[in-house]
């Protein structure tokens, strides 16, 4: 199968000496200079491969080598293995001085394969064969390895439990398990010295993709400081296999962000949606990060339990810059710990991050896009993380480091929301339906009042002109009711031509589709239902009344006779635009005969307000709590549940003892991120205690169910106060 090979997104700048050396190594091995430990078959004529260099943020002279191929890729993988040293170090604890590690997923047991999730640290166990130094995280539900054909539950192979079509679409390189995130198309792979929690760096990483239909960024490599080392694209191989690998001159890669197609695995594949999954992973032997060392053991630190809170992230319009600003209410949070700052991020549909800036606990964060872009059209999620202030100030972070809170607009309503507030597909200048309705209703109310003013002035011909305007603004130029109502031979429309009634009808249709989704949060469904009700006031009540009053004014003999219907016309067009307090209670409610276009506009914003929830351990603050304080206990019991610590964040004084009791079914541990304490794994009904004799904040995680950096899964913090 012939394939084309998209180049790296970075400009290629070959370095002759380094590339010549690499090719010499490959040639020597091809001529019998060494046998790779993994058996391979000879390439066929269908194989295609490319080896290039690509510039990154490294100093000149340190470009990586990119190895790509599609179709029959066995020889391509052999090239990549040789470039990493040619020796497969298997699954024993490390580190080794050279060689590579490889994961083909086929050793994963059935009970940890689909439809079950794979533990994030499955391939960084302390013993062979799973001590491979790999840790996986995703903003989605988790990562999965596909079922094999003889699994005891009868689960379909190749992720067929998610979409039956995948059973035949996805091919395997090393039969028969594959790997993918679920609920997202993004995975982060972080490296550790195999069998330990010591952070590590590697020389390179590569992997096999299956069913890449479109050009997209496959890998982005990061150093220990979070700086991007480059983004690289994978070859296209529709319904086939492709490989992408990048080798750096020195161990420098601490993390790789992997993107799978354009969307997460799901029921749809086609019509612009490209889903892809992966087979074998190959990466250089993880080497300890230079200068990494285990921190001294703590003596004790106290932290007041921080209650679970939610944060409200809102998109806002500033003047005529529609939804080009955001706000995040952080009043419920303490100040960030000393030497840290909160950072606010937007998240795109494909998992791309945009750093907005640093934020302070206890107050609101505000941001406005300098180019006035509609941010709802570009992003659907938000993250609050904890970062080093210098990294945020420099703006060099490509992704959050320690995620504390996150949230997103429900994926199933994003297309409808964007038609409502970003871009209408059939409107003038692609005006979105919701603001288009509000703007045209306001224009209609203006001309309804101008008609009344002309009637009051006794200028009936001018009044008839504005009545014609009011009609044509209401119905739109495509309506059979549009026309030259005053008989002057010139049908006029000061509006945009689409019409108040068509705008309201389309807004109601989209909102109604959202309100019918039973799995959505109740507040979103209520807002959408309110929009439908308000739109009905316009389309079923005030719109027809406006048309009837227009006919009455035009049928009047003179201005005096038109005064009564003219007054009513001004009132009903005003109600259409701004609503009316029909029951006299001092409020315009979301109710029949009360709410209009402005209320629809306000309700629509509730569809894309983002409620951010805790996704990581909330640190103890460096300053006074936003909501008060209290003395810290000298002994604390933390419950280990399946799969959370309760409470997740505690404060204790120096000398206090913390006891973790396993109240779940699974094994759990309390393991310090900095290595200062580790209860080890223990079962249900058992407990372990640690006495803290040194002040500080200690993040910890469960070895089986949390991330070693303390940012995701089953994680917690102990803050010890002097």
pLDDT of residue 62: 59
Q: Which two tokens stand for residue 550?
A: 């227009």
What is the rounded distance in angstroms from the CA atom of residue 683 to the CA atom of residue 660? Answer: 11
Residues 61-106 have pLDDT tens digits of 458 999 999 889 999 999 999 999 999 999 988 888 899 999 999 9
Residues of the chain with pLDDT under 70: 1-62, 215-217, 268-272, 291-308, 396, 615-635, 642, 665
Q: Which two tokens stand for residue 510?
A: 């989209």
Residues 571-621 have pLDDT tens digits of 999 999 999 999 999 999 999 999 999 999 999 999 999 998 876 544 433
111: which DSSP letter? G
Could you count the other beta carbons within 10 Å of the beta carbon of residue 560? 11
C-alpha pair distances (Å), 45 with each of 39, 75, 189, 239, 465: 19, 11, 33, 18, 77
List the end-to-end C-alpha distance of the chain, in Å, as a whole number.
Answer: 67
433: which DSSP letter? H
What is the rounded distance in angstroms from the CA atom of residue 168 to the CA atom of residue 147? Answer: 14
C-alpha pair distances (Å), 94 with each of 100, 124, 346: 11, 11, 38
Q: Which two tokens stand for residue 47?
A: 């194989």
Residues 215, 6: contact at Cβ < 8 Å?
Answer: yes
What is the rounded distance in angstroms from the CA atom of residue 116 to the CA atom of residue 144? Answer: 7
Residues 493, 428: contact at Cβ < 8 Å?
Answer: no
Q: Prior bond to 570 cis, omega within 30?
A: no
Helices (H), 459-536: 460-475, 500-515, 522-536
Return all residues near 602 (Cβ < 8 A) that are at least 6 apart: none
HSE toward the beta carbon, residue 449, CA cutoff 13 A:
10
412: which DSSP letter? G
Q: Which two tokens stand for residue 339?
A: 């030497």
Residues 289, 226: contact at Cβ < 8 Å?
Answer: no
Q: Which two tokens stand for residue 360?
A: 């302070």
Tokens 């395997």: give the residue. Answer: 172
| CA-closest candidate to residue 363, choices 59, 626, 144 | 626
Q: Prior bond to 211 cis, omega within 30?
A: no
| CA-closest candidate to residue 447, choices 462, 469, 464 | 469
Q: Which two tokens stand for residue 95?
A: 């580190």
| CA-closest candidate to residue 329, choices 367, 362, 375, 368 | 362
What is the rounded distance in angstroms from the CA atom of residue 717 to the CA atom of residue 645? Answer: 10
Q: Which two tokens stand for residue 36?
A: 């790779």
C-alpha pair distances (Å), 578 with each of 421, 476, 495, 542, 658: 18, 20, 17, 12, 59
| CA-closest candidate to residue 316, choices 308, 304, 324 | 324
What is the rounded distance in angstroms from the CA atom of residue 375 to the CA atom of residue 369? Answer: 8
């Amino acid at each position: 199968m012939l394939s084309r090979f998209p180049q790296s997104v970075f400009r290629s700048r070959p370095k002759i000496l380094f590339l010549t050396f690499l090719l010499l190594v490959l040639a020597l091995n091809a001529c019998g200079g060494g046998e790779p430990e993994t058996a391979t078959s000879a390439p066929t004529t269908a194989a295609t491969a490319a080896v290039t260099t690509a510039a990154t943020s490294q100093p000149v002279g340190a470009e990586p080598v990119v190895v790509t191929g599609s179709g029959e890729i066995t020889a391509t993988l052999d090239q990549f293995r040789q470039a990493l040293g040619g020796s497969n170090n298997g699954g024993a604890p490390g580190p080794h001085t050279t060689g590579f590690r490889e994961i083909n997923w086929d050793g994963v047991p059935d009970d940890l394969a689909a439809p079950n999730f794979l533990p994030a640290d499955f391939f960084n166990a302390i013993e062979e064969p799973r001590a491979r130094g790999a840790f996986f995280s995703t903003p989605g539900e988790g990562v999965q390895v596909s079922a094999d054909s003889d699994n005891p539950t009868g689960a379909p192979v190749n992720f067929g439990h998610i979409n039956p079509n995948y059973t035949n679409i996805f091919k395997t390189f090393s039969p028969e398990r594959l790997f993918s995130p679920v609920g997202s198309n993004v995975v982060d792979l972080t490296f550790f010295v195999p069998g330990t929690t010591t952070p590590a760096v590697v020389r390179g990483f590569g992997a096999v993709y299956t069913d890449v239909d479109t050009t997209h960024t496959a890998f982005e490599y990061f150093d220990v400081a979070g700086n991007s080392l480059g983004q690289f694209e994978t070859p296209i191989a529709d319904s086939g296999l492709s490989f992408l690998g990048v080798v750096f001159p020195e161990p420098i890669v601490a993390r790789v962000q992997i993107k799978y197609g354009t969307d997460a695995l799901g029921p749809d594949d086609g019509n612009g949606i490209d889903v892809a999954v992966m087979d074998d992973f190959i990466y250089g032997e993880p080497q300890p990060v230079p200068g990494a060392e285990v921190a001294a053991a703590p003596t004790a630190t106290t932290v007041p339990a921080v209650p679970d809170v939610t944060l409200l992230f809102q998109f806002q319009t500033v003047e005529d810059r529609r939804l080009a600003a955001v706000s995040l209410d952080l009043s419920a949070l303490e100040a960030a710990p000393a030497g840290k700052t909160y950072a606010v991020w937007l998240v795109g549909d494909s998992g791309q991050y945009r750093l907005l800036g640093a934020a302070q606990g206890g107050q609101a964060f505000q941001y406005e896009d300098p180019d006035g872009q509609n941010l709802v059209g570009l992003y659907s999620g938000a993250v609050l993380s904890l970062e080093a202030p210098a990294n945020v100030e420099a703006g060099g972070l490509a992704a959050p480091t320690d995620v504390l809170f996150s949230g997103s607009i429900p994926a199933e309503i994003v297309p409808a929301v964007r038609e409502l507030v970003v871009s209408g597909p059939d409107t003038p200048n692609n005006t979105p339906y919701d603001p288009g309705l509000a703007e045209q209703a306001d224009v209609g109310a203006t001309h309804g009042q101008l008609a009344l003013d002309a009637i009051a002035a006794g200028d009936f011909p001018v009044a008839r002109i504005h009545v014609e305007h009011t009609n044509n603004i209401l119905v739109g130029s495509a309506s059979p009711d549009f026309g030259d109502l005053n008989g002057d031979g010139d049908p006029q429309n000061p509006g945009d031509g689409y019409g108040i009634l068509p705008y309201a009808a389309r807004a109601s249709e989209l909102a109604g589709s959202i309100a019918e989704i039973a799995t959505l949060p109740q507040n979103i469904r209520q807002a959408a239902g309110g929009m439908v009700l308000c739109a009905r006031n316009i389309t079923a009540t005030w719109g027809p009344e406006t048309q009837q009053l227009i006919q009455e004014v035009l049928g009047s003999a003179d201005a005096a006779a038109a005064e009564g219907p003219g007054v009513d016309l001004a009132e009903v067009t005003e109600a259409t635009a701004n609503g009316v307090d029909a029951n006299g209670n001092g409020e315009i409610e979301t109710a029949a005969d009360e709410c209009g276009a402005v209320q629809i506009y306000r309700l629509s914003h509730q569809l894309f307000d983002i409620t951010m929830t805790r996704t990581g351990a909330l640190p103890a603050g460096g300053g006074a709590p936003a909501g008060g304080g209290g003395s810290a206990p000298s002994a604390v019991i933390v419950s280990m549940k399946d799969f959370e610590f309760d409470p997740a964040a505690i404060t204790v004084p120096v000398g206090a003892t913390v006891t973790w009791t396993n109240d779940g079914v699974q094994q759990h541990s309390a393991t310090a991120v900095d290595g200062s304490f580790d209860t080890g794994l223990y079962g249900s009904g058992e407990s372990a205690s640690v006495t803290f004799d040194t002040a500080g904040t200690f993040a910890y995680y469960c070895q089986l169910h949390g991330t070693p950096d303390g940012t995701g899964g089953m994680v917690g913090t102990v803050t010890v106060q002097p």
